[in-house]
Amino acid sequence: MSATITPAGTRQSAPAPSDRAGRLLRRSTRPAAALLSGTMLFLSFPPRPLWWLALPAFALLGWCLYGRRPRAAFGLGYLAGLGFLLPLLVWTGEEVGAVPWLALAAVEALFVAAAGVGIAVVTRLPLWPVWAAAVWILGEGVRARVPFGGFPWGKIAFGQADGVFLPLAAVGGTPVLGFAVALCGFGLYETARRLRDHRRTGELPRGPLAAAALAVLVPVTAALAALPLLDDSAEEGTATVAAVQGNVPRLGLDFNAQRRAVLDNHAKRTEQLARDVAAGKVPQPDFVLWPENSSDLDPYRNGDARLVIDRAVRAVGAPTVIGAVLTPETGPLRNTLIAWDPEKGPVATYDKRHVQPFGEYIPMRPFVRLFSSDVDRVRRDFGPGDKVGVFDLSGTKVGLATCYEAAFDWAVRDTVTHGGRLISVPSNNATFGRSEMTYQQLAMSRVRAVEHSRTVVVPVTSGVSAIIRPDGTIAQQTRMFTPDALVAEVPLRSSLTPATRMGTLPEGVLAALALGAVGWAVRTRAKERRTTAR
């Protein structure tokens, strides 16, 4: 150990290398733990059946943030956000490179960082796991709305399609489901903290320990109590539905360079379905669902495309929903679903209401071009529709939420409150290759099925198409990049779950709890400081 001379002239030993290493290790423990907590959240999402990892992830996050000052909490929350969102959203850079992916994850992690500050502030309050879980849901709610209409991908609820908490989706939607998971995780940490203090001091504060234990037990008990809401019985009879996956000629952003090939693939697979019906291999469907972008040729302006679609629909002999790109003479493009009758042709349309920023339209195009020339692949922006999508197909009202819309609570709920007895989520995953995106989206649809107690059908161009029963179980699904057609008799339901009836009310209550708790904590802290100053 070396020595140094201080200004006062006394000799002072310099820290040994082992001491410096120890201090560095201690300083890096919480940042590393925050990063690990985010990574565990990612690992709790599909396609891995590790939903339970979300609980220790929140417990670890609680340890990182407990009693931290706002600046430290922001940094720790940001690290947790990066650990979570960087791997979760890697599919966004599948074909456009790392810059858009990194930028998206970096921006979205800021919301997690802000939530981290709020969580750290409320840890000073009694029953803090309750307020901390509410703060997390407030952060998710803000992230689902801003900027550019929000980006709710990565809501904790969407990782719980296989979990014990799933029935709570029918109670209060994704906010209540996510709140229960976060509360249970924070409750685990608080229970462990109280027991650790007991071992150290010998004192056992029974009230706080009981409150911590209840933070774990109440969400689990509530989920078990909500099990009767999982009901896949037929209230309005049944319907035989077919979902067609035609596949694409090649992966990547240029899949639609062969737009006619994509259309032909779906038409041929539908005609094969018609032959299978005639041979008695599968039952006659009451209606058929094609994916988003199954015809990127506008059938209203392209006579050849219209003939191809009409021939396929006549062959199968059932109303068919076609996903098309409409190209009007002026104005924005339209991502449109068309109800195609085998006798009358196109009879109804639904224009996607929430078009995807930086995918279907480019905000701030000149600025974004500085970072990626891929923005110019979107030469003409898509515009949003303004009407709720519900088609009457052979007497069945089918609610429509196109791809990206399935991530938004309001976009799916609207279809049910407007009479949908079944929900269809036509999607196009071809631009995301063999990434986990299609499995994440499938999990969303499973949560939506339970949330609204409706069968959900997910026809996809090339990812994983599926038919999901109202209790969230998957009746049938396809393999990726494989032409296929799913046919199943599914229950039709008309009753409304508490989640459907209440809409945004549970989220609003949790947001109010979060804001009230943060205000309470700030006022309490300010009062303590004034008292100390005296």
Q: Are residues 412 and 66 in contact, defined by beta-carbon separation less than 8 angstroms?
A: no
Q: In residues, how long is the chain?
A: 534
Task: Round to whole Å and give the CA distance between 140 and 522.
Answer: 22
Listed in sequence order, the residues at least 6 apart from 395 whose beta carbon sits closer than 8 Å to its beta carbon are: none
Task: Round to whole Å and give the CA distance between 425 and 400.
Answer: 6
Task: Round to whole Å and give the CA distance between 22 and 295.
Answer: 62
Selected catalytic residue, list 190, 292, 436, 451: 292
Position 401, amino acid: A
Task: Round to whole Å and give the CA distance between 245 and 139.
Answer: 36
| Phi-psi category of residue 453: left, alpha or beta, with phi > 0 → left and psi -120 to 50 → alpha | left
Task: Round to whole Å and give the CA distance between 125 and 211.
Answer: 12
Query: What are the residues facing 468 on neighbouring strands?
Result: 456, 474
Task: Round to whole Å and give the CA distance between 508 and 510.
Answer: 5
Selected catalytic residue, list 95, 184, 403, 405: 403
Cβ neighbourhood burial of 169 (10 Å; 0-12, 13-18, 19+): buried
The residue among 18, 16, 23, 12 whose CA lies nearest residue 1 is 16
Task: Round to whole Å and give the CA distance between 174 and 392.
Answer: 28
Task: Round to whole Å and give the CA distance between 438 and 462.
Answer: 9
State how beta strands 474-477 and 11-13 pair: unpaired
| 140 included as an active-site residue | no
| 292 included as an active-site residue | yes
3-state secondary structure of 418: coil
Position 442, amino acid: L
Radius of gyration for the alpha carbons in the chain, expressed in angstroms and rounded: 26
| 403 included as an active-site residue | yes
The residue among 79, 70, 74, 71 whose CA lies nearest residue 29 is 79
Which H, E and C letters describe 4-35, residue by residue?
Answer: EECCCCCEEECCCHHHHHHHHHHHHHHHHHHH
Alpha carbon separation from 260 to 116, 267, 290, 308 (Å, rounded): 49, 10, 15, 10
3-state secondary structure of 248: coil
Catalytic residue IDs: 292, 352, 403
